[in-house]
Amino acid sequence: MIIEVESHPLLDPLAIRAELAGPQGEQSPEWLEQLLTAAAGPESVDEQCKKHIRALLRHGGYRPAGRGKPSSEWLVAAAARGALASILPLVDVGNAVSRSAGIPLSVVDLDRLEGPLKISLGSAGESYIFNRSDQQIDLAGLLCLRDGLGPCANAVKDSQRSKTDATTCKVLILIWGTIDLPGAARRMGNRLRQLLERLGAEVEELGFHRDGPKE
């Protein structure tokens, strides 16, 4: 599986495909839930990391602040308050790694996607539903993962249609890294592999095909 990537001067993505032998179920093991607690740290996002991730998302014209801030910032703040709850095992792995590094990632159910995958900026007027309450996020200027049906994930909120549930076996985890944080996406990928394999998943790193030279 290869992910197409539109030319972008800052994006340094890393993608991992993970497959469990059966459905993930609803309950994470205790060791994984512990990684979501306040004691697992950190208490806040490193300011340089925050600056560079926001710059990555801001490049296309998106405003990464308030309710539209990177998901990693929300995870760190929630965990520091003791409010980062367990959701599902594969989601918890992603949240634990994203929270630790301060860099956003997406976890999508591969069986819910259709056709080839691509990363590109959202266009004016594009949006998708991101929760069960049918709330929508405006995708204009925001880096998004797309399948044949349209945008399905980003560094702020993943789409409801691509999210995992208890029956999920196969996921794509996409790290929204930036060249301004050299090696950070790779370190996150290594940590993801460790936790996914401990969970019992088979793991492989996916490749990218870039659409022309960087701007």
Domain that holds residue 46: 2-211
Decide: 156 and 137 in contact? Cβ < 8 Å: yes
pLDDT tier for residue 212 given thresholds of 50, 70 and 90: low
CATH number for the domain that contains residue 133: 3.50.40.10
Residue 131 carries which DSSP code? S
Polymer length in residues for the chain: 215
Q: What is the pLDDT of residue 211?
A: 78
pTM of the predicted structure, to 2 decimals? 0.96
Residue type, 113: L
Burial of 77 (0-12, 13-18, 19+ CB in 10 A): middle
pLDDT per residue over 118-163, tens digit each?
999 999 999 999 999 999 999 999 999 999 999 999 999 999 999 9
How many domains does the structure of the chain reveal?
Answer: 1
CA pair distance 204, 172, nearest whole angstrom: 10
What token pair was written down for 50?
């925050």
Would you report the helix, strand and coil content of the chain in percent, each value rounded to 5? 30, 25, 40
Residues 6+ apart with CB under 8 A from 152: 108, 113, 128, 144, 145, 146, 158, 159, 161, 162
pLDDT per residue over 197-211, tens digit each?
999 999 999 999 997
